[in-house]
Structure 1
Amino acid sequence: MYSSIELFSGTGGLALGLQKSGFDHRALLEWDKDSCDNIKANIERGFPLVQNWNVIQTDVKLVHYDDFGEGIKLVAGGPPCQPFSLGGKHQAYNDKRDMFPEAVRAVRELKPQAFIFENVKGLLRKSFSTYFNYIILQLSHPEVTIKDGMTWLEHLKALEEYHTSVGDHGLSYNVVFRLVNAADYGVPQSRHRVIIVGFRNDLNANWSFPDATHSQDALRYSKWISGEYWEEHKIAKAKRPTISETERLRIRKATERGELLGRWQTVRDAFLGLSDPRKSQRNSKFENHEFRAGAKPYPGHSGSVMDEPSKTLKAGDHGVPGGENMIVLDDGSLRYYTVRESARLQTFPDEYVFHGSWTESMRQIGNAVPVQLANIIGSSVYHQLERLNEYEKQRHSGYKAV
């Protein structure tokens, strides 16, 4: 296993996915006490994936990375997204919660072979394009630091000049990014996130983002052409929704071009095995599966439907936005997701328990990286590092033989 450090770990979604992919977290850094307490509670419960985690509640600005020793292969994290979120105040570099400078510092001081950072799609908003370029250049050349008295635009200019110059570039990274939809990787939720991945440029990495494993076309085919989706869920023909023949023909044409991927996972898929919390909340074998009353629609927030991926779960600036955390049931009624249902939509294991109130647990879950997405990205990066490090071993052994 390769050692890693994770910043802004929240309640552990990214960390769980990376742990499953083979990384061993030397430390998880998070300032929010409730999130740290939740991870620690799962450690105390004996949840196996987190048993060796070193969870440190701290402000990352105060961290001395030389305390964690050498040999860190990966730095990962999800810098606070409120400065860039569509639901936030869009202040970016004017927002004190912008923690990308701290992500860059961690890379500069730890010099990992690779890094993975995640953020909201608002980071790619046109109005932020210059600042996003600034982030990428800082991660590409973390040793080109901002000088006292410099504005960020002056620093950007210095980075651009350095990036386009010739000669020895010191510690530098080859950085790529992509806007991905978690649904395309088997997460039962439409959740668009920016993933930034970098490899140290002395490694000669040859990496690209993993191909999608699931598709909307495959879901449509399984519903309206083969009918397998409805049969799998034992939905009687009389209760299935209908579409026009024109739409059916369009789907058939769109899906006849080649082999389909796995189908997008839906809310109904995610809830398999869970009982109706309104009827069995006291006897449920699943923790965090308690019914919460009071769900009501309002303009722009109408809940997610059963037979599509869920809308994006959100933490919310002022509590939980109702629409993103509600479900429209088969009879047309609305209710809130339970904490366990929300955790499944973020692909947390059922054994991973949330210990706060409903609102606090939903905040943590809404802020998390889906475990499945983190695992797929992490596994791809891990295998690339394995290849690179094996090549280095062989190269050095060849030198010794000579």
Structure 2
Amino acid sequence: MRSVELFAGGGGLTLGTHKAGFSTEVVAEWNHWCCDTLRENRDAGYPLVKGIDVREGDLRRIDWSKLPEGVDLVSGGPPCQPFSGGGKGNAADDERDMFPATTEVIRELRPRAFIIENVRGLLRPGFSDYYNYIRLRLAHPELRAAHDESWGDHFDRLQSEDTAARSDLQYKVLPTLVNAADYGVPQQRWRVFFVGFRADVNAEWHFPRETHSAAALRAAQEDGSYWDRHEVARKHRDFRLRTARDSNTTLSPWLTVRDALVGLPAPGSTAVLNHVPQPGAKSYPGHTGSYIDAPAKTLKAGVHGVPGGENMLRNVDGKVRYFTVREAARLQTFPDDYRLHGPWSEAMRQLGNAVPVDLASVVARSVRDRLNAATFRDNRTTRIAG
């Protein structure tokens, strides 16, 4: 199935959609370091990015009309800074808000489905109207804002259209908040996914159910199976993950930093890509690192001084150090043979902005399966009618 990737970054969504069976034809990304990562892996023959057309620059300047019709999927993660808790929270008033541009691409390509991802901050109460505005814009991509029309006025018009029975290009949009740790990613990373299917596609889709839980990890720590599997000394087995009372013990255990780093040699090994140590890590209140026997905190695109110390490893002895690029890539479930281009700070920025590959694959595979099923139903109906 054919797909197009917007705001591709270092390739998390691209790799995930390829694993799920989509063939990404064009990836759009403005950051030069990210584009070099994509091109370098493509030119080296890495199979999951084989043959991709990397368009570096502003996606609003790409002539999408030259792409052959019949795109099945548009995916992407517009810049999160307008909605991130670490930013100014200017939403529509932030020039980096690329949801309107995303909708324009969907309008032009008319894909059968889309997967759009962003930060949990988008759900903050202060953004509630704009969040609903985004959902309606994605649902009605042909209803463009008029010249000098405010987003509030456009929102009113979209609401009126959404409750009317007209026949513009429409998508059925299902927004879902998920924690990547619940899907086998060794990192607590909350994200909002907008998954939409074109109205003429009978997808019968729901968001994939969780496969992993905090309670199952705590149970494995309590019965000793987690510690035995990693051959952890008894003096270091006191830690127990905190869990919610309703967490499901029947699922697989959340994966931890220790799980993610299995098989990696000590930082500095030249046998492993991007595994160079980075000095200077320090622990202080609010900056304590990710504990080795729990899922990592959310990796961030910043580097030194990131709030919460998300880019540091905290070992059982309390000592901290920065994750190498390869270790951070493991936490984002990037393949070990996928090279991140650029110095440590730029590579970490690519990873901090990325969608975990395995989470992207789970979501994209569920979309592909429903598109296949919808195609089968449509073809079967056509044969019976004929």
Report the TM-score when normalising by structure 2: 0.96
SS at match of 1:273: coil
- What does residue range 178-197 of structure 1 map to in structure 2 within 5 Å? 178-197=176-195
Distance 2:305 2:285 in 1: 17
Match of 2:251 in 1: 261
Distance 1:365 1:102 in 2: 23
C-alpha displacement of 1:238 = 3.1
- What does residue range 54-93 of structure 1 map to in structure 2 within 5 Å? 54-93=53-92
Match of 1:330 in 2: 316
Deviations 1:279-299 (A, max 9, x none): xx1x44211111111101233
Unpaired runs of 5+ residues, structure 1, are none
Deviations 1:124-161 (A, max 9, x none): 11000000100001111111111112111110111111
Residue 358 of structure 1 is aligned with which of 344, 362, 383?
Answer: 344
Q: Which amino acid aligns with 2:39?
A: K
Unpaired runs of 5+ residues, structure 2, are none
Residue 171 of structure 2 is aligned with which of 170, 173, 176?
Answer: 173
Q: 1:334 to 1:80 in 2, by over 3 A?
A: same
User: Which shows bigger deviation, 199-208 or 303-312?
Assistant: 199-208
SS at match of 2:118: strand
Q: 1:20 to 1:242 in 2, by over 3 A?
A: closer
Match of 2:226 in 1: 229
Q: Which amino acid aligns with 1:199?
A: F
Q: 1:146 to 1:284 in 2, by over 3 A?
A: same
Q: Which amino acid aligns with 2:170?
A: S
Contact 1:320–1:359 (8 Å) recurs in 2:
no
Distance 1:4 1:333 in 2: 44
C-alpha displacement of 1:321 = 5.3
Report the TM-score when normalising by structure 1: 0.92
SS at match of 2:335: coil
Match of 1:113 in 2: 112
Q: Which has the larger radius of gyration?
A: 1
SS at match of 1:178: strand
Q: 1:104 to 1:382 in 2, by over 3 A?
A: same
Deviations 1:66-123 (A, max 9, x none): 1111010111100011000111111100000000001111111111110000000001
Match of 1:39 in 2: 38
Match of 1:208 in 2: 206
Aligned length: 386
Distance 2:360 2:261 in 1: 21
Distance 2:24 2:184 in 1: 25
SS at match of 2:27: strand
Match of 2:302 in 1: 316
Contact 1:296–1:322 (8 Å) recurs in 2:
no
Contact 2:286–2:308 (8 Å) recurs in 1:
no
Distance 2:341 2:151 in 1: 41
Match of 2:19 in 1: 20
Q: Which amino acid aligns with 1:180?
A: V
C-alpha displacement of 1:219 = 0.2
- What does residue range 88-167 of structure 1 map to in structure 2 within 5 Å? 88-166=87-165
